[in-house]
Amino acid sequence: MFSYSLEVCSDCIAFTSCPSAVELAINHLDNSTKTKFIESLCGHEYDQIKWMPKICCSDFTLASRTGEVRTDAVTGTADSHPNMRLLPDICGDIEGNRIIGGRVAKIYEFPWMALISYNTREGLQFLCGGSIINSRYILTAGHCVAGSHKIAGVRIGEFDILYKIDCQGEEPNFVCESHLQDIRVENIILHESYTGLPSPSNDIALLRLSKPINFNFKNALPICLPVTEDLQKFELGGRVGTVAGWGLTETEKYSSVLLKVNVSIRTGEECSQYYNRSPGTNEGDRTLNYICAGEHLKDSCNGDSGGPLMLEGEYKGINRNIQYGIVSHGPKKCGSDSPGLYTAVTKYIKWILDNIRE
């Protein structure tokens, strides 16, 4: 059993709440890293399941040592970013003849949906979702990569988890799809200022895949991101967005088939009133980098942790699906009157572009 110093540091926190330490463990776990973890131990805490180590987070990042929390709001600078070329022009296709208000999605309605698989004691399980943003990267929530389960891979093109061949509809509109792509994850990029559950901040991550997604199949296509100045300044409050997913969380049961739900987006002021102790001030404001959306019995319980909140909008002159949010967290009781919180993608466009490569 490892011992730890009785001289406790000022930021002795759970290992899973220190993003730089988690990223180091995921991507660079060698003997020197293990030694550094042992030297940084400062205690343990019980998380209702098991004892978890606590570490001096400042040993791993200057940002934690200074208390700096980065935000990445972009105002019209994305167009000139050198990595804009890595985001495809063809994205967010809107499937024709959409069923408004339907609960079950159509097979090709959301081809950017990704399922993240994990190695668990019960075997391989899908516990989070994400969205395709180009042929090598999946956008997801930070808490989906900072947990205790190791990511096994990503599945592209899924509709009904129970079947290898998905079929839907009646003649003459009967359609079947069998092209699934299971791809290993090459690298995990967690936001360097992520703080852990139950109230995470900077809840965003990228998964780099070990090989490109094949976009020759109709059930695989990237979603558009709000990269232009007009899209970044678009007022979301009062609009209606769409959340799609299998209802995947680490604790709740899920649907085998892809579902969708329309959610009302709240204004920033309404969001603050729900989640902040001091409305009208920025002190302790949990919602600055979030979007609030949902209403009674209609919220992100119907989506996946890490999945997209989408709105239709004009992207390079064409009406497309654009991802404005990432399912993050919300009220403890699913479907309550309190809205769910979604990481605001517009706040992290520069971070996304900074962290993708060829």
DSSP string, 309-324: EEEEEEETTEEEEEEE
Sign of the Cα pseudo-torsion (275, 280, 285, 290, in order):
positive
Farthest CA pair distance, the chain: 72
Determine whether 203 is an active site residue. Answer: yes
- The torsion angles phi and psi of 45, rounded to 5 degrees, stand at -140, 155
């069923």: which residue's tokens? Answer: 99
305 flagged as catalytic: yes
Element (H, E) at 265: none
Active-site residue, selected from the candidate residues 17, 300, 305, 328: 305
Helix (H, G, I), strand (E, B) or coil at 206: strand
Q: From the candidates 143, 300, 304, 329, which is the catalytic residue?
A: 143
- Exactly one of 203, 285, 299, 304 is catalytic; name it: 203
Distance from C-alpha of 271 to C-alpha of 303, rounded to nearest angstrom: 20
Residue 143 is among the residues annotated as catalytic for this protein: yes
Nearest to 24 by CA among 69, 55, 52: 55
CA distance 223 to 162: 25
The catalytic site residues sit at 143, 203, 305
